[in-house]
Amino acid sequence: MILNFGMCFMKAYKTKVSHNENMKKLQAGYLFPEIARRRTAHMLKYPDAQVISLGIGDTTEPIPEVITSSMAKRSYALSTVEGYSGYGAEQGEKQLRAAIAKTYYENLGIEEDDVFVSDGAKSDISRLQVLFGSKVTMAVQDPSYPAYVDSSVILGQTGQFQKDVEKYGNIEYMKCTPENGFFPDLSATCRTDIIFFCSPNNPTGYAASREQLTRLVEFAKENGSIIVYDSAYAMYVSDDSPRSIFEIPGAKEVAIEVSSFSKYAGFTGVRLGWTAIPKELLYSDGFPVAKDFNRIVCTCFNGASNIAQAGGLACVSPEGIKAMHEVVGFYKENSDIIVETFNSLGFKVYGGKNAPYVWIHFPGQSSWDVFSEILEKTHVVTTPGSGFGPGGEGFIRVSAFGHRENVLEACRRFKQLYK
């Protein structure tokens, strides 16, 4: 037997395919896997600690039975000749599209065929980016849900990351802070093709008012921009803030709405959402945006799971809506507990009222330092505000998704730490 000593000196084979320059621009890991990594490291360090996660906005409460029984029924039916179905419409099942239009957009002029059912808002945000392509410019609230910026980077819409300002080139960061009531100063905002706007906002928990959204729609209309409105937390609104951008007159000509059952019914793992694109929304050449999105959905997607869609239909039944309100109500009570805790400790506390997120100010401190201190001293996982953009520096997001006893225990520990 001849040993091939040459092997030892061989370098690894490399293809000649260039590493995508856009992927190389991305900084570190995507925020939430990074937090999961730190959480795991912490648990290894303190194997006996009772770690409580109020970090990633992940639902914890069981899905109401009226919904899971529909999914189980659909599962079983797939084993029968009469109940089996193969490929569904890429855009979603007709009945579900109609039910979503009726439930969330009645009298707002959004119809069944304007609704595209998806496997969740995150997937649809990327599909929208593929739709728009690399040549568009975009604006985001700062801070905002990181998938907007990261998907924009991946698609090649941005410049390099600029370490000094913690921003990517060629993105308009619209600062949203307590000083401006968490609504951007539009007079100082550059025109972009696309404006990502999330309300109630993740991470600040702030819901834009009707008057603010009216200004946003006017701004988009003047500039010929398209608003991608993320309403994933709309059911958490307690006051008279709009639940949909389409409540604003004229929005149908400038807006797309992305939404999800994740935070309403505990569907974070089941995966079901939707995107509404009005027929009135046109590119500069007059071509309907929805028509191109339909092509994207047919080519790059094959519809959401039929079992999840059966669950979606149960969600928007009268019993399902009632059950979802109970789930949402439970998390809103958690928000109240967290808000009261930090208020009692003398912090400036934002959000919570219209959203499952509480946004707490630690002036002059680094978010990651605060995150680390809280984790180290209380074994509670939060989310550092700066993970959502430079405008989030000095803040911590505490998620209201958690079992009641965990939220109460976390709040006891916060009181211990900051007393």
Q: Identify residues 213-242 at the interface with a copy of itself (CB under 8 A).
A: 221, 223-226
Question: What is the C-alpha separation between 124 and 137, in angstroms, rounded?
Answer: 18
The size of the interface with a copy of itself (CB under 8 A), counted in residues, is 102
Least CB distance from residue 51 to a copy of itself, whole Å? 16
84 binds a copy of itself (CB under 8 A): yes
419 binds a copy of itself (CB under 8 A): no
Least CB distance from residue 24 to a copy of itself, whole Å? 8
Q: Which residues contact 48 (CB under 8 A, 6 or more apart)?
A: none
Fill in the per-residue mask, 283 to 302: x = in contact with a copy of itself (CB under 8 A), - = not in contact: xxxxx----x--xx-xxxxx
159 binds a copy of itself (CB under 8 A): no
Question: What is the C-alpha separation between 202 and 275, in angstroms, rounded?
Answer: 18
62 binds a copy of itself (CB under 8 A): yes
User: Judged by CB under 8 A, which stretch of 128-136, 173-181, 208-216, 356-364 contacts a copy of itself?
Assistant: 128-136
Residue 136 or 417 with smaller CB distance to a copy of itself: 136
Residue 230 or 394 with smaller CB distance to a copy of itself: 230
φ/ψ of residue 229, rounded to 5: -100, 120
* Residue 29, phi-psi category: left (phi > 0), alpha (psi -120 to 50), beta (remainder): beta
User: Judged by CB under 8 A, which stretch of 99-107, 261-269, 341-349, 389-397 contacts a copy of itself?
Assistant: 261-269
Beta bridge partners of 229: 197, 257
Question: What is the C-alpha separation between 187 and 189, in angstroms, rounded?
Answer: 6
* The token pair that represents 354 in the structure block: 């219209």
Cβ proximity of 28 and 150 under 8 Å: no
Considering only CA atoms, which of 69, 75, 115 is closest in space to residue 91? Answer: 115
Q: Pick from 111, 112, 172, 193 the residue near a copy of itself by CB under 8 A.
A: 193
Q: DSSP letters of 290-312?
A: HHHHHHHHHHH---S-HHHHHHH
Residue 159 or 181 with smaller CB distance to a copy of itself: 159
158 binds a copy of itself (CB under 8 A): no
Least CB distance from residue 177 to a copy of itself, whole Å? 26
Residue 326 or 376 with smaller CB distance to a copy of itself: 326
Residue position matching structure tokens 């090649």: 156
Q: Pick from 38, 39, 69, 317 the residue near a copy of itself by CB under 8 A.
A: 69
Least CB distance from residue 32 to a copy of itself, whole Å? 8
Question: What is the C-alpha separation between 239 and 218, in angstroms, rounded?
Answer: 23
Q: Which residues contact 184 (CB under 8 A, 6 or more apart)?
A: 141, 174, 175, 176
Q: Pick from 4, 5, 6, 16 the residue near a copy of itself by CB under 8 A.
A: 16
Q: Pick from 101, 232, 254, 349 the residue near a copy of itself by CB under 8 A.
A: 254
With vertex at residue 231, the alpha carbon angle to CA 267 and CA 282, rounded to the nearest 5 degrees, is: 120
User: Judged by CB under 8 A, which stretch of 37-45, 55-63, 162-170, 236-244 contacts a copy of itself?
Assistant: 55-63
Report strand pairing: 171-175 vs 395-399: unpaired
H/E element, 414: helix 404-418
Least CB distance from residue 378 to a copy of itself, whole Å? 22
DSSP code for 175: E
163 binds a copy of itself (CB under 8 A): no
Chain residues 101-120 in contact with a copy of itself, contact rule CB under 8 A? 119-120
* The token pair that represents 186 in the structure block: 């539009």
Residue 103 or 305 with smaller CB distance to a copy of itself: 305
Cβ proximity of 292 and 131 under 8 Å: yes
Residue 241 or 383 with smaller CB distance to a copy of itself: 383
14 binds a copy of itself (CB under 8 A): yes
Chain residues 32-51 in contact with a copy of itself, contact rule CB under 8 A? 32-33
Q: Pick from 7, 8, 10, 79 the residue near a copy of itself by CB under 8 A.
A: 79
Cβ proximity of 98 and 256 under 8 Å: no
Residue 22 or 366 with smaller CB distance to a copy of itself: 22
Q: Pick from 171, 304, 313, 328 the residue near a copy of itself by CB under 8 A.
A: 304
Angstrom CA distances, 316 to 102, 236, 309, 360, stand at 9, 16, 11, 34
φ/ψ of residue 382, rounded to 5: -120, -165
